[in-house]
Structures are given as C-alpha cells and as structure tokens.
C-alpha cells in the first residue's frame, strides 16, 4: 500500500517516522520499504480520537 499517497506526506516524512518509531510497521525487501495494507489500516485505527484527550 502506498502510505505516502494515502496520507499525502513526503517520503522524507515516512522515513523520519520510521527512524522515530512512529507509524505502521513495515517490510524492507531488497532495500525498499513497503507497507502491508492490514498494517496501514491497523495504524490508522490506533490513531482514531473522539477528542484531543480521548482515544476511541
């Protein structure tokens, strides 16, 4: 899944998130980073909020 396109963020942002341990888990194959669809959807679900202080 193309997380960069889905979230409209740069490749540099995704790279920074990975180095900081932010974002979905990823697969690195032959030097290329890939995100599995189920991991992207799981990460998005973990980010759901009802308010600034309350997670869903």
CA atoms within 13 A on the CB side of 53: 0
The pLDDT score that the predictor gives to residue 53 is: 81
Spatial CA neighbour of 7 closest among 55, 44, 50: 44
pLDDT per position as a tens digit, 1-54: 789 999 999 999 999 999 999 999 999 999 999 999 999 999 999 999 988 887
pTM of the model: 0.80
pLDDT per position as a tens digit, 14-28: 999 999 999 999 999
- pLDDT surpasses 90 at 56: no
- pLDDT surpasses 80 at 55: no
Helix (H) or strand (E) holding 38: helix 37-46
């Amino acid at each position: 899944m193309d997380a960069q396109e889905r979230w409209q963020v740069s490749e540099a942002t995704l790279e920074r998130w990975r180095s900081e341990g932010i974002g979905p888990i990823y697969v690195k194959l032959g030097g290329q980073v890939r995100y599995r669809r189920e991991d992207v959807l799981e990460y998005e679900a973990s980010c759901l909020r009802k308010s600034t202080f309350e997670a869903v």
